[in-house]
């Protein structure tokens, strides 16, 4: 772990696998002594650092079940807390209207094509959008998923999963000083960040650019949370038919305070991005706009290693420094609970959280 903290990555795959072996061995010792809580922390950390749960699925299930039946867990449940619920933006409301009015840095000028889920067949989706790499908003795609109502409740997360260890990004890649990652329990993530973020309601672009907010922004970002907490799969459709016959390759979870910003970048997979709690603003540029988007290179920034990040600060562009970006073309959308966005492979996209929010995305 010292090597990982010092270098930011494992020197070789052997170092990573050696850590996995250590974590599982240490967990066996904890389980032998009846300390399943500590054992589960070790396994959570190993999965966060890349250990596929399927390789130890029976042992993981054993430790997980005993941890939730232990006296330590009973004590956990007896603790008094009440964090309440995040705002439910799934229906038209005064709070939702306020997000539209105050959350955007400017009115939507280049709306993305959209349709209702009930009016779109799988064949139409494949033939008209996937085949042509054309972005599409599908309203009410996930409106019937249990997660829409269930995951709004912060007390649900604390009661069921508050003892679990998760990786949290603190700060922002788009601000001076960047972000740092820290492992913490879900309960600490909620009590220290999500609860106060929910009280704040709408997060404007101006407010998150102030130094006073830098310690309030936190993000469980692009994490395969379902590898750790498999029961959460019951709350979503884990293999949407729109992902094709083979289904998704990865399912990522995004849980964050308001004010999170994912810089302009592209991915190598086709992507279904589903909003479950809260609201996000998303902007998409087609891949043919790449020459105008000032792609970062390794010499420019550590974030330029993969060649899929743009130097543009979306919503706050410096057109004197990046003049070609002035004529770049994009489409944009506000995502509410239940909405799904198809992001084609290699399409550039930027995302900002206007409120405390939860999303999942399916790469296929």
Residues with pLDDT less than 70, the chain: 1-9, 71-82, 175-177, 211-212, 299-305
pLDDT score, position 215: 86
Residue that the structure tokens 């003049």 belong to: 323
Strands (E), 42-178: 114-116, 136-139, 165-171
* 3-state class (DSSP) for residue 340: strand
Q: What angle do CA 185, 187, 188 make, to 5 degrees?
A: 70
Question: Helix crossing, 57-68 with 36-48: angle to 10°?
Answer: 140
pLDDT score, position 104: 93
* 3-state class (DSSP) for residue 168: strand
Residue-wise burial string across 199-225, b where 16 or more C-beta atoms lie within 10 A, e elsewhere: eebbbebeebbeeebbebbbbbbebeb
Evaluate if pTM is beyond 0.75: yes
- Kindly report the CATH class assigned to 94-363: mainly beta
DSSP 253-322: EEEE-TT-EEEEE--SS-EEEEEEES-EEEEEE-GGGGGGS-B--TTT-GGGTTS-BB---TTS--TTTS
**Range(s) of the chain covered by CATH 2.60.120.650:** 94-363
Query: What residues form DSSP beta bridges with 361?
Result: 252, 273
Residue 197 gets the label, from left (phi > 0), alpha (psi -120 to 50) or beta, of alpha
């Amino acid at each position: 772990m010292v090597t990982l903290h010092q270098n930011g990555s494992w020197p070789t795959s052997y170092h990573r696998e050696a850590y996995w072996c250590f974590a599982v061995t240490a967990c066996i010792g904890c389980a032998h002594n009846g300390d399943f809580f500590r054992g589960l922390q070790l396994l959570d950390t190993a999965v966060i650092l890349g250990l596929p749960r399927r390789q130890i699925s029976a042992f993981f299930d054993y430790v997980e079940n005993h941890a939730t039946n232990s006296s330590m867990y009973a004590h956990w449940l007896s603790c008094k807390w009440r964090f309440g619920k995040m705002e439910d933006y799934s229906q038209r409301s005064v709070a939702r209207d306020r997000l539209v009015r105050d959350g955007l840095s400017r009115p939507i000028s280049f709306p993305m094509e959209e349709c209702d889920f009930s009016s779109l067949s799988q064949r139409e989706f494949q033939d008209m959008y996937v085949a042509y790499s054309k972005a599409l908003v599908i309203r009410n795609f996930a409106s019937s998923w249990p997660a829409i109502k269930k995951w709004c409740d912060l007390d649900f997360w604390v009661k069921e999963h508050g003892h679990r260890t998760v990786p949290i990004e603190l700060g922002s890649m788009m601000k001076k000083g960047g972000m740092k990652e820290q492992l913490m329990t879900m309960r600490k993530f909620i009590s220290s960040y999500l609860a106060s973020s929910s009280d704040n309601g709408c997060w404007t672009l101006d407010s998150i650019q102030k130094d006073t907010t830098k310690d309030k922004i936190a993000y469980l970002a692009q994490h395969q949370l379902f590898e750790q907490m498999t029961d959460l799969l019951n709350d979503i459709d884990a293999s949407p038919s729109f992902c094709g016959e083979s289904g998704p390759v990865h399912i990522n979870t995004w849980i964050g305070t308001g004010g999170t910003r994912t810089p302009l970048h592209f991915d190598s997979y086709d992507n279904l991005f589903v909003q479950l709690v809260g609201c996000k603003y998303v902007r998409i540029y087609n891949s043919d706009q790449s020459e105008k988007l000032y792609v970062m290179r390794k010499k420019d920034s550590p974030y330029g290693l993969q060649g899929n990040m743009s130097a543009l600060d979306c919503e706050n562009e410096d057109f004197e420094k990046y003049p070609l970006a002035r004529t770049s073309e994009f489409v944009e959308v506000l995502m509410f609970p239940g909405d799904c966005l198809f992001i084609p492979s290699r399409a550039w996209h930027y995302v900002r959280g206007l409120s405390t929010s939860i999303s999942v995305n399916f790469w296929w």
